[in-house]
A and B are shown apart, each in its own frame.
Chain A
Amino acid sequence: MKQNSKLGRTFAAALLFGTMLGGSAAVAQTLTIGVRAGPDSIDPHWSTLGSQAETLRHIFDTVVMADENLQLKPGLATSWKPVDDTTWEFKIREGVKFHDGSELTAEDVKFSIDRIPVVTGPMSMTIYTKQVKETKVIDKNTLHVITKAPAPTLPNDFIRLFVVSKNVGMEARNEQFNSGKAAIGTGPYKFVSWEPKGDFVVERFDGYWGDKQPWAKVVRKEIASDPARMAALKSGQVDLVNYVPATDYAAMQKDKSVDTFVADSVYFLNITPNVKETLPKKVKVDGKEIDANPLRDPKVREAMDLAIDRKTLVRVVLEGLGRPANQLMPTNFFGGSKNLPEKPYDVAKAKQLLADAGYPKGFEIDFACTNNRLPGDSAVCEALSQMWARAGLKVNANALNGTVFFPAQQKGEFSLWMSGWGTLTGEASYTYGSLVHTADPAIGLGAFNKQGYSNPEVDKLLEDGSKTMDDPKRRALFEKVTEVSMNDRALIPTVQIQTVWAAKKGMLTVPSRVDQETLAYEIKPKS
């Protein structure tokens, strides 16, 4: 007991000391981060979950890396180029060491690509290797990746291709990675410990090929509850938190003990109108069900678009943490269009268009949304139904938990819905290929096109684009896809979400990443 109280005193003194020195390099050795979500496994090939990739980037490097705007930069590959229509050549970085001291070669990269289909789970990593037919090791530092068809977006897919050491063997599974035995990467930090939903602890790897890291140790505490995470920052248990809720952000701006960092995100809240022949639940005019689907009429979709006051959504509903959107991804992404005008807000014209379309008194329709996927999703949902009410529509907003929403969406039970979408590869075919291309299982496109939108022009542009190896040409094709599908209102974008980090005052500089990743190796102590 005596020893314990002594320990307690030492601990208290250490804490006090820490507070006094806060921010100086002497104690900036350990970085403790309170994160909303962590990984599902330490095996980097297990799941495509965003928080999984974010966490494991500390231990494992990817072949291609992404900068804060999700544009490509060299990773374990120093360069890449197509040698013919179906072969990419990757030059693997020389002098890279794994945490166990062995040297990285093209064999390890080949092993990693081959390993994915064998070990991956329900959030299948094969989406990043599905274009690969086979891999050939040319020499120690050269790898040829042969694709099934021309695959211009292969380097984009490889920003999620983590490289593990071939020494771990094909047999290693989640247990071996979680225990640390197989968690051998080339990344800036070495694995120390992790348990599901608990703390993730890593320490600096001195043999790292990149810049020397300022942190000797990094602890990522998984604190899912927003108030608990904010309290952990305010009580000094963690140095930095991600996903600050909008209400706390407003209060923090007046708080002198914290710094806040705001970043645009890749996530957009998009409305999807079901344009199939008949709706799963018929709309009502004057309380009577009608057979026709009014959403098939472009005028109706335009009216609904015009009735949305995006500036108010951002300013009031999201407390300023967002931007009005006019397409499904940021304009500076590959294939984003700078020609599309800002979306106007015009209720009078919306009413006129509805009358022209044959609905002078509007109609009644159900509107489903998620309520727990992105900050503000359910609030935006309710605000939208009020905005549409001003144009004369009766929209029954129904915000659902993702657990209920996604299966129902797959079954095609919604007439009109809103959900978030993030262009995680920073490139248009990822988003438009899945959401606006005609649903076609044979070629694997339009997998999430549950609204029945089909435009042969868009389909052709997307298919041509996915075969065009020349970057500027492909970019022009995808820009056209963006413009045509947005003018058709295949989906109606509303707002781009912004996210916030908060850190102890004057302690850190946190880069604003569009993918929201909180990466210790990009966070520097403020000197």
Chain B
Amino acid sequence: MIGFLIQRVLQALMVVIAMSIIVFLGVYAIGNPIDVMIDPASDQALREALIHRYGLDRPLIEQYFVFMNNMLHGDFGESFIYRLPVINLIFSRFPATLELALTAMLIATCLGIPLGLWAGYKPEALSSRAIMAFSVLGFSVPTFWVGLLLIMVFAVELGWLPSGGRGPTTTVFGIPMSITSLEGWSYIILPAFNLALFKLGLLIRLTRAGTSEVMSSDFVRFARAQGLSEGKVVGLHVLKNISIPIVTVFGLELGSTLAFAVVTETVFNWPGMGKLIIDSITVLDRPVMVAYLILVVFLFVLINLVVDLVYGQLDPRIRVKAAS
């Protein structure tokens, strides 16, 4: 187990190093961040002074090592744009994104798995065909377009829900959350549903495929022969046997939802991390870009680790292999 963890951490470090090098080279290839930020009324001397002040005149390799050295000491640097510690900046936006991503995953899972089970259990029923048609829409229609449509219908035409923003928050364990109040839910429901749509389609199809495959297997026949109720056969034995791919996809999707919910965040003006990173890219705010991507790497590694541990719980065969 310990060896497994160490291996994972080493993997993460390699990815962090590779990624930070890519970002540094990428920003360097585009040009000098000062040229994007500088005021048009500045003169040449001021431009030189600024480039010097931010250390951008030093060799790239030196800039890189200064940054990495600071990072090893826990200092991710300050944003060029806000002059706030990058870590504070990112974590001030993190709860909003976490809340949105978790709500979206909750919607996708609570709707996707039962619908997928039903569609796989009764593949010929009209309702199953309707579910499958919906799932195709779910991941073929662009997110931003659905988002705008939701806003037009529910916010502008019907006026039931707000068109964007996060609404009031209350502090739970020091973290501002909006899902603690009904009004908060009125803000989160549209963006969460919008974000969930793709994952919903994916989960429905994945669950259905697994279900229809497992339904014809021997153990289902034996379970039925044993006299178990259909509910128990599907809800316990089938679900457990199809859960490995679902958990894998769930983990990956959770990671990407947290890191790249930017389209939904933009359309619904949700104050999350996605908007922060896009804005920092457009102004070449390098400290924010690097720190954010490093955070994303760790997030993915962590989620994958949890997924691996969950495998063991779901399927004893994997546990045995890992132990040996």
Contacts and interface: CB of A to CB of B under 8 A. Distances in A.
Interface of A: 4-5, 7-8, 11, 40-41, 46-48, 121-124, 126-127, 130, 173-175, 178, 195-199, 221-225, 227-228, 231-232, 234-237, 372, 401-404, 406-411, 421, 424-425, 430, 434, 439, 441, 444-445, 447-448
A444 B163 contact: no
Contacts of A237: 155, 162-165
Interface residues of B, number: 53
Q: Which of B42, B181, B275, B279 has the most CB of A within 10 A?
A: B42
A10 to B, nearest CB: 10
Contacts of A195: 92, 271
B155 A235 contact: yes
Given A198-B271, A403-B282, A231 B41 contact: no
Contacts of A40: 81-82
Contact of B38 (A8, A123, A222): A123
A434 B41 contact: yes
B182 interface: yes
B182 A232 contact: no
Contacts of B269: 221-225, 228, 232
Contact of B36 (A8, A402, A430, A441): A402
Nearest to B34: A122
Interface in B30-77: 30-47, 50, 54
Given A124-B42, A448-B40, A231 B83 contact: no
B276 interface: yes
Contacts of B46: 124, 126-127, 130, 444
B148 to A, nearest CB: 6
A127 B50 CA distance: 12
Given A198-B271, A403-B30, A403-B284, A122 B50 contact: yes
Most central of B34, B45, B82, B155 by chain A CB within 10 Å: B82
A242 to B, nearest CB: 15
B156 interface: yes
Contacts of B164: 223, 228, 231-232, 237
B193 interface: no
Given A235-B151, A410-B35, A441-B43, A121 B183 contact: no
B266 A225 contact: yes
16 contacts: A124-B42, A127-B42, A130-B46, A198-B271, A199-B165, A225-B267, A227-B148, A227-B151, A228-B151, A234-B156, A402-B36, A407-B31, A407-B32, A410-B31, A434-B40, A441-B44
B34 A227 contact: no
Given A196-B82, A231-B148, 4 more contacts: A4-B181, A227-B151, A404-B30, A407-B30
B141 to A, nearest CB: 16
- Chain A CB count within 10 A is highest, among B33, B81, B162, B275, for B81
A106 B42 CA distance: 27
Contact of B43 (A4, A236, A401, A444): A444
Contact of A221 (B151, B165, B182): B165
Contact of A197 (B47, B151, B155, B276): B276
A232 B282 contact: no
Contacts of B81: 40, 47, 121-122
B252 interface: no
B80 A174 contact: no
Nearest to A408: B31
Nearest to A405: B36
B83 A174 contact: yes
B300 interface: no
Contacts of B89: 196
A11 B271 contact: no
A403 B34 CA distance: 10
A327 to B, nearest CB: 17
Contacts of A411: 31
B281 interface: yes
Contact of A224 (B155, B165, B275): B275
A309 B39 CA distance: 31
A473 to B, nearest CB: 24
Given A231-B152, A441-B45, A8 B37 contact: no
A407 B35 contact: yes
Nearest to A173: B83
A297 B115 CA distance: 71
B198 interface: no
B84 interface: yes
A403 B283 contact: yes
Contacts of A441: 43-45
A41 B83 contact: yes
A234 B148 CA distance: 13
Contacts of B118: none
Interface in B125-179: 148, 151-152, 155-156, 159, 162-165
B267 A122 contact: no
B268 interface: yes
B40 to A, nearest CB: 6
